[in-house]
Amino acid sequence: MLLGILGEPSAAVGQLCPEHLFVIERSKNANIVVYDANRGPGGDFSASQPVVAYWLLAGEKGKREQLNVVERERAYGFDIAPGDTPGTFSMTVRADPKRRLTLRILNDCPVVTAPIGGRDGILQKLFVQSKEGFPLPKVEYVAFFGQDVATDEPLYEKFTPRK
């Protein structure tokens, strides 16, 4: 069973897929960055744009905004390419290009998997704790939340960037 915000039904009877692949929450405010799978009518990922990212604005139900150029190029944008296995994509978020993410179908649902706390996990959320600064905020830590692919156990990892 996949945890998280429930959304589209999967082929498995009674199972719902998470509404989003994963989200990024921040200490700055309640707005979140959302990453969604972009699938065609046949259920396959769009080859030209398999993932879309955008802001979901808190306090304004359903209000979305596109990422601006700086956000796409530096923090919340991502690079994506066909993966090692057919039907998968390899993805990295610009803010953490060393952590390889994999977009794939698992139990009939689109998911992003990644190492979380040394285990293979379904990434659900990142939380960024930052402190305002000039010219840019300073990231104090990033927390990764997910679910173990094999056992469904919750996973957590706290990453502190180098000073």
The yes-or-no verdict on residue 59 having pLDDT over 70 is no
CA distances to 15, 16, 33, 40 from 10, in Å: 6, 6, 24, 15
State mean pLDDT over 136-161.
92
pTM recorded for the entire structure? 0.86
144 domain residue, yes or no: yes
- The pLDDT > 70 percentage for the chain reads 89
67 domain residue, yes or no: yes
What pLDDT, on a 0 to 100 scale, did the predictor assign at position 47?
Answer: 86
Among 86, 87, 88, 99, smallest CA distance to 126 is for: 99
For the chain, how many structural domains are there in total? 1
Structural domain boundaries enclosing 119: 6-159
> 95 or 126: whose pLDDT is higher?
126
Within 10 angstroms of residue 122's Cβ, the number of other Cβ atoms is 26
1 domain residue, yes or no: no
